[in-house]
Amino acid sequence: MAQTTRSAAGQPAPAVSPPSPPPPPPSPPSPKGFRSAELGWPELRRIPHPPRRLPLLGDVLGADARTPLQDSMRMGQRLGPIFRRKAFGKEFVFVWGAGLVADLADESRFAKHVGLGVANLRPVAGDGLFTAYNHEPNWQLAHDVLAPGFSREAMAGYHPLMLDVARQLTARWDEREAAGRPVDVPGDMTKLTLETIARTGFGHDFGSFERSAPHPFVRAMVGTLSFAQRRNVVPPMLAPLVLRGAGRRNDADMAYLNRTVDAVVAARRAAPGQGGHGDLLDRMLDVAHPDTGERLSPENIRRQVITFLVAGHETTSGALSFALHYLSRSPEALARARAEVDEVWGADGEPAYEHVAKLRYVRRVLDESLRLWPTAPAFAREAREDTVLGGEHPMCRGAWALVLATMLHRDPAAWGERPEEFDPDRFAPSAVRARPAHVFKPFGTGARACIGRQFALHEATLVLGLLLRRYDLHADPGYRLRVAERLTLMPDGLTLRLTRRPPAV
């Protein structure tokens, strides 16, 4: 997914795939392998770090291995818009100041850096769109082949399938409401978004809503994401011992993901009339690059399918879950969003594709939820050549920094004095126009930003509209938001009680 596209008036633009950005200037591959910050930042000593740094161990006092992102947010609040952390001999630079991030967004000087947990996913995702190194040719090949799969025409074709999956969700929620039982918001949003990307992109039905427990694909996916995060916080010298059992489980999880995707691809190849779906899998199997005639290899097709199934549902389910949490605790925002849905959709039973883009306030709710908790909470950028960040911090070619989107989205310089408050009107057209560029980055930045962002935003806006039209949302008064981290973010333990609304007339 990538930065929100808006019209000249500041309103959310229709769900169309934006033109592909021009390719960045060529540069030689960056130095291979992990580079600790002292190797690429000549004036590293000028960047603050937490107090009480321990020899060998680094900045580990008070750290929680289960919540490294939230630990870094707390450190960033104390240390400022650029800071560093060291753990077990590895030093990292973090950036969240709006001006510095705008500098890092300059595609002529910086590029995506595949590091930390993202690189840990390469054993299963390889050179897929999300995990490919910049110099790997399959990224550009896959991007150019698959980008038309997110055109306006393609999105309109996905809409009926999105509606069909949403009906499965509302049928399940109707049963829970009738029984007076709460709904598991993150669990059900995960089922919804997995089925949506699987059916629209690959013609596959996981049968998630027919299961009481998560589909084994979800368990394997969560396992690989969690293992990738654990590898970030375990000392390398202890990893073979500490992660021995987890490593075996991760191998089994990756094998399951591979087998599942291989079966999906094999079924499509064997199906009568193969090539008639017009979905992402058809493009992967049948479409050559328009200029070179190259095709994706079978191995790369597997990696791209895994990438889309994992990234295409994990982040969207989190965005929907956070939005429902904030709406359930914001009566005014809930009333405004519901009134907009009723006005735009009228008495129509279900919305047409064109109706979704008219839910401008609902879209603001999503944007504000993504501001507070971008479900892909950080992204890394590396220097293409020797440069100076913000006119102050020299960087060598290949040096990199991790952008904390969660803190960028809370920078008072961009978002005002109370950035922790939930306020969808931050995304009113006048407010959007008044803010500087590059301060809202829930989908990454530049040429490597998420290819499926419009798909995700259309799906999430549609689902929120359907749920608001059908139910009143009642928060558990004793619940306090807890954020679970597994590379992506998700509300932990979030449930809601529902009351059916009378039909619109």
- Record the tokens describing residue 425, joined without a space: 């009107």
Residue 424 in 3-state DSSP? Answer: helix
Residue in 86, 35, 45, 37 with CA at minimum distance from that of residue 63: 86
> Which residue blocks in 88-136 are alpha helix, DSSP H?
98-104, 116-120, 122-125
> 490: which DSSP letter?
E
The residue behind tokens 């006005």 is 343
Please, are residues 481 and 474 in contact by the beta-carbon 8 Å criterion? no
Helix or strand (DSSP H, E) at 328 = helix 298-328
Provide the pairing of β-strand 387-389 with 393-395: antiparallel
Distance (Å) of CA 419 to CA 13, 66, 107, 292, 358: 25, 25, 28, 48, 27
Neighbours of 401 (CB within 10 A): 30
pLDDT of residue 61: 85
- Record the tokens describing residue 153, joined without a space: 């025409």
The pTM (predicted TM-score) of the whole model is 0.90
Query: Rounded distance, CA 427 to CA 423, Å?
Result: 8
Residue 458 in 3-state DSSP? Answer: helix
The residue behind tokens 């102050």 is 392
For the stretch 456-481, pLDDT in tens is 999 999 999 999 999 999 999 999 99
Q: What is the pLDDT along the chain (505 residues), one digit of tens a residue?
A: 433 334 333 444 433 344 445 555 555 555 556 789 999 999 999 999 999 899 888 898 888 888 999 999 999 999 999 999 998 888 999 999 999 999 999 999 999 999 877 888 898 899 999 999 999 999 999 999 999 999 999 999 999 999 999 999 999 999 999 999 999 999 999 999 999 999 999 999 999 999 988 889 989 988 988 888 787 777 666 777 777 888 899 999 999 999 999 999 999 998 876 666 789 999 999 999 999 999 999 999 999 999 999 888 889 999 999 999 999 999 999 999 999 999 999 877 789 999 999 999 999 999 999 999 999 999 999 999 999 999 999 999 999 999 999 999 999 999 999 999 999 999 999 999 999 999 999 999 999 999 999 999 999 999 999 999 999 999 999 999 999 998 899 999 999 999 999 876 6
Please, are residues 325 and 491 in contact by the beta-carbon 8 Å criterion? yes
Residue 106 in 3-state DSSP? Answer: coil
Residue 474 in 3-state DSSP? Answer: strand
- Record the tokens describing residue 254, joined without a space: 């990756």
Neighbours of 409 (CB within 10 A): 24
Query: Rounded distance, CA 117 to CA 218, Å?
Result: 18
> 310: which DSSP letter?
H
Half-sphere exposure of 316 (CA within 13 A, CB side): 32
For the stretch 22-57, pLDDT in tens is 555 555 555 556 789 999 999 999 999 999 899 888
The residue behind tokens 């952008």 is 403
Spatial neighbors of 332 by CB under 8 A, at least 6 apart, are none
Query: Which sequence positions are flagged as catalytic?
Result: 315, 443, 450
pLDDT of residue 280: 95
